[in-house]
Chain A
Amino acid sequence: MTFRHKNTRRIEGLDSNVWVEFTKVAADPSIVNLGQGLPDISPPDYVKEELAKAAAVDRLNQYTRGFGHPSLVKALSQVYERVCGRKIDPFTDILVTVGAYGSLFSTIQALIEEGDEVIIIEPFYDCYEPMVKMAGAKPVFIPLRYKNDGNSASSADWVLDPAELANKFNSKTKAIILNTPHNPIGKVFNREELQVIADLCIKHDTLCISDEVYEWLVYKGNKHIKIATLPGMWERTVTIGSAGKTYSVTGWKLGWSIGPQNLIKHLQVVHQNTLYTCPTPLQEALAQAFGIDYKRMDDPDCYFYSLSRELESKRDRMAQLLQEAGLKPVIPDGGYFMIVDVSTLNVDLSDVDEKQPYDYKFVRWMITSKKLSAIPLSAFCGPETKRQFEKYIRFCFIKKDSTLDAAEVILKNWNKQTA
């Protein structure tokens, strides 16, 4: 029987995925999982209650408006109008998607095509590269580099070289993908840094896809600034947000794209031809949760701020544990990830006969011998920079105390178990 059916060109080479391997780890309860970015803390009670309430309403178990459940897009426009200081039309300027992942996909499919170049800042959330390739475009990478030789104590020390960045822009550059607060480093781009990017976008008439899923998770001394609020940027920026990261409900898979109608309308076309509508009861519950927190946006008890405070102390604890084990973590200014250079541990893996980068080998070794998991940083790099980042691994610290306690035990006993 003949069978000539292979995959389409658009997905050629896009089949492998770091998560498929490393999320299997989550299923093994004997492993302390600080790898994949998902909370093991509970979402707030009121969020769960709103979902129960929504599911009890008959109509809310059927299809809702494709581009976003009306009460949700209205709630989002309220919150973001306040944050951005501008009018945001809930029906034309917002699209609700299946997670921020779905927003990235809709944006790239809507606005990027063959012949385009898209600038991606390394290290990057791993899906940017395959999504740009699936759209037929060419990813152009630029690494964050630490500005001090050796001691990269803070995520703020990781910067873009403005001249190097400017060189990456040309007439083919359709978009730049910005991720702030940044995964995996935790960098919170400051106004000057954003202005450099904005100036280049305006000069070269480039779009900005701004992945801001960790927007509320910003630690003392730092402020999350939306590049869309800089002069000349609203009309060329799609800003992406996530319910999963905002409310610790990654399993709800709801996200949104916000921007000018002339861009969002194209995302809506993609959406109506890919999955059409997102789940209704989840959107309704999210709308209610946003309503509750919108009312207390001047109050420190607002979940957006209380979660951030909770995570800051986990961040500090994680950093301390790693430092006590003799490691030098890069302290993040935002997000819930922390990267650390493990080369100082001098774990010799040269006998592991694989062409894999060092960090992949290290993480696999650490999982089996230390029962602790993390994610190798070279998963977040383009081919040229893998060498540069292969000594780093990423830990996720949005974990309950008992998980961090278990990590502490492992790290404290690290040197006692050398082969």
Chain B
Amino acid sequence: MLRRVGPSLRHFLLERKSSAGYSSYSSEEKMSRPVQARRLEGIDKNIWVEFVKLAATYSTVNLGQGFPDFPPPDFLKKAFVRALSGENHMLHQYTRGFGHPPLVKILAQFFGKLLGRDVDPMTNVMVTVGAYQALFCCFQAFVDEGDEVIIIEPFFDCYEPMVKMAGGMPVFVQLRPKAPKDGQLMSSADWQLDPAELASKFSERTKAIVLNSPNNPLGKVFSREELEFIADLCVKHDVLCISDEVYEWLVYDGKEHIRIASLQGMWDRTVTIGSAGKSFSATGWKVGWTVGSNRLLQHLRTVHQNSAYHCATVAQEAVAQGFQRELELYGKPESYFIQLPKELQQKRDWLVQSLDAVGMKPIIPEGTYFLVADISEFKSDVPDVPDSDEPYDSRFAKWMVKNKGLAAIPLSAFYCGAHKNNYNHFIRFCFAKEEATLKAANDILQKWKREKTSP
């Protein structure tokens, strides 16, 4: 069986290209070789670069990129100011590379409680520059050339290029929508993995599976049964689980976020990733973390100490204080982790109403601050271009921001190249926005609907 078809085929083609052969170097060869490393092959495109620019240029209402347009809570902002202006000016200097001691200590306490086990701050927790860098460390630490990594579609777009950059092979398995009951709106719970299909994706080359629950972009909150099924496969095939749980607090309708690391046989093979940006509405602080067994985290530390090494001290100090407060208020109504999902649920419901009222069919998310809607009824505004390389929803989203001033992200952005046209009539909205923003979005949608129905 051909184990590494991809890379060796690429080498073969390159060898064919350069007449002198790839293995013998000369000055001429160097000049004709591209200056950049091969690991960048196929990962240079990025949906955000384009869509962020479009939103900045055209949008009046930006429900595109995922960040709140309301501020972080006062207690957190105050903690930041205290940290930067306090007597201890050493908070402007390097802290411990693997995580500022007050932060790793409180994270260990907090997540120890949630996972029901002893979590050591020095060996079971590592702080990263956002959850993004945590993901990077995981792939670099564990994915070698030829390793397969299972990615559940639709997925947060960085998983695929990160796997590729590590030399791995992404293996995709789709969440498939089941039709909702008559008259009801679809829920993210209606998008499910086919168990047999998922099982078939595990092979002896499978190194890891990436789990994202609550899921961006759909908002799906994986149930205990679904997680147990995934866990059983991980144990059976001795596969690692990279569990991206950045939206862990944003869970609605009384649903429970279940941490796969707490399931049988999973602690030793799971890295759980979290984000201060999402937990505290401070995406611009770029503080994230990993929690897991030392056996796994030791390798994340090696990557981290050879790539970024330290994260900003002041931000870590402030986040530590934020967590201290949340630990004290855990489960109480004043807890930010209870207030935030409460507020966001209301915003979700407003947006659902707005979209439903005009004929865009929302898929009600169980979690996250994203919502995906089916725009089929609006297709007449953006005619199909049969020969276009670009997926329909991408053209639609671009047209919408330019002509209606409303920014959203096409769902195809969250699928691999081969599957981009499978679900190409959906767009993703972010509803972590002030009431005024959501009202403005509603106005745009209402006006649009009126323009469609009037002659």
The chain A residues found within 8 Å of chain B, CB to CB, are 1-11, 14-15, 17, 19-20, 23, 36, 38-40, 42-43, 48, 51-52, 55-56, 58-66, 98-99, 101-102, 105, 109-113, 115, 127, 130-131, 134-135, 171-172, 174, 204-205, 207, 244, 248-253, 262-263, 266, 269-270, 272-282
Contact = CB atoms under 8 A, between A and B. Distances in A.
A8 B141 contact: yes
Given A7-B299, A174-B30, 7 more contacts: A7-B142, A61-B283, A102-B308, A113-B39, A251-B90, A273-B136, A273-B161
Interface string B278-318: 00011111100000000110110111011111111111000
A253 B311 contact: yes
B268 A3 contact: yes
B102 interface: no
Interface stretch (B44-52, B175-183, B250-258): B44-52
Interface in B114-165: 128-130, 132-133, 136, 140-144, 158, 161-162, 165
A11 B137 CA distance: 11
A66 B48 contact: yes
Nearest to A174: B30
Nearest to B301: A15
Contact of B307 (A102, A244, A276): A102
6 contacts: A19-B305, A42-B92, A110-B37, A171-B26, A269-B36, A276-B158
B380 interface: no
Given A23-B96, A171-B26, A273 B158 contact: yes
Contacts, number: 231
Contact of A11 (B77, B235, B299): B299
Going nearest first, the 6 A-B pairs with the smallest beta carbon separation are A280-B284, A251-B313, A113-B37, A58-B71, A266-B36, A42-B89
Contact of A251 (B94, B130, B240): B94
Contact of A43 (B92, B95, B284): B92
B67 A62 contact: yes
A101 B93 contact: no
B37 A135 contact: yes
B97 A19 contact: yes
Contacts of A65: 52
A101 B36 CA distance: 19
A7 B302 contact: yes
A63 B25 contact: no
A39 to B, nearest CB: 6
A262 B284 CA distance: 28
B306 A131 contact: yes
B381 to A, nearest CB: 30
Interface residues of B, number: 87
Nearest to A170: B25
B391 to A, nearest CB: 21
A282 to B, nearest CB: 6
Interface stretch (B79-87, B190-198, B213-221, B447-455): B79-87
Contacts of B89: 42-43, 48
Contacts of B81: 52, 55-56
A269 to B, nearest CB: 5
Contacts of B90: 40, 251
The secondary structure that dominates the B interface is helix
B406 to A, nearest CB: 19
Given A5-B142, A40-B90, A42-B89, A66 B309 contact: no
Interface of B: 25-27, 29-31, 35-40, 43-44, 46, 48-49, 52, 65, 67-72, 77, 80-81, 84-85, 89-97, 128-130, 132-133, 136, 140-144, 158, 161-162, 165-166, 207, 235, 238, 240, 265, 268-269, 277, 281-286, 295-296, 298-299, 301-303, 305-315
A233 to B, nearest CB: 15
B284 A60 contact: yes
B37 to A, nearest CB: 4
B302 A15 contact: yes
A64 B65 CA distance: 11
Nearest to B76: A61
Given A7-B299, A109-B39, A171 B25 contact: yes
Nearest to B67: A62
Contacts of B49: 66, 272
Nearest to B207: A5
A251 B238 contact: no
Contacts of A15: 298-299, 301-302
Contacts of A6: 299
Given A48-B85, A251-B93, A14 B48 contact: no
Nearest to A171: B25
Contacts of B207: 5
B286 A278 contact: yes
B103 to A, nearest CB: 13
B264 to A, nearest CB: 10
Contact of A8 (B40, B142, B265, B286): B142
Nearest to B286: A279
A279 B315 contact: yes
B77 A101 contact: no
A266 B40 contact: yes
B35 A61 contact: no
Contact of A10 (B26, B65, B92, B140): B140
Given A51-B84, A266-B35, A275 B136 contact: yes
B67 A55 contact: no
Contact of B37 (A63, A112, A251): A112
A262 B34 CA distance: 11
